[in-house]
Amino acid sequence: MFTNILVAIDLNDPMSREKALPQAVELAKASGGTLHLLTIVPDMGMPLVETFFPANYEEHALQAAKEKLDALARETLPEGLPHQQHVMLGQITSHIVEAAEKTGADLIVMASHDPDLAQNFLIGGHAGKVVRRSPVSVLVVRS
């Protein structure tokens, strides 16, 4: 069924942990596949914005995200489930698609909020962007 399942985890959004991750775990167990947990620390976008943050902010943010993702894996994944953790810095949609390609994922699992038409019209949702750009199937888990 699925050999490598990439699950995008927003460490600040309980839906990722409570809705998308359990779905990905069940699919990985059923297929005997490997689960790839991915979290992305957004970059600052513009050099001007970077001046408002302390030195080494990105390094500290990446380390904190890695520690949280490690703890999440220890606390929630069943014993013996093959998994790997990945932490990236930058643009969320691009890195999800890039990670799917690098890990050889044949499925991406991610959570999505109920659609907010105004927000989606202005900036678009990450899940929708991933669905449009992904070379593999995407399971979008709604709340």
Supply the pLDDT for residue 115.
60
Domain count, the chain: 1
Supply the pLDDT for residue 118.
45
How many Å apart are CA 54 and CA 67, to the nearest integer? 20
pLDDT(110) > 50: yes
Sheet of strand 107-112, all strands in order from the earlier edge strand to the far edge: 83-89, 34-41, 4-8, 107-112, 137-142
Mean pLDDT over all residues of the chain? 87
Tell me, what CATH number does 92's domain have? 3.40.50.620
Supply the pLDDT for residue 46.
61
Supply the pLDDT for residue 13.
86
> Which tens digit of pLDDT belongs to each residue from 32-91?
999 999 999 987 666 666 667 777 888 889 999 999 999 999 999 999 999 999 999 989
Contacts of 4 (CB under 8 A, 6+ apart): 33, 34, 36, 103, 104, 105, 106, 107
Give the domain range for residue 121: 4-142
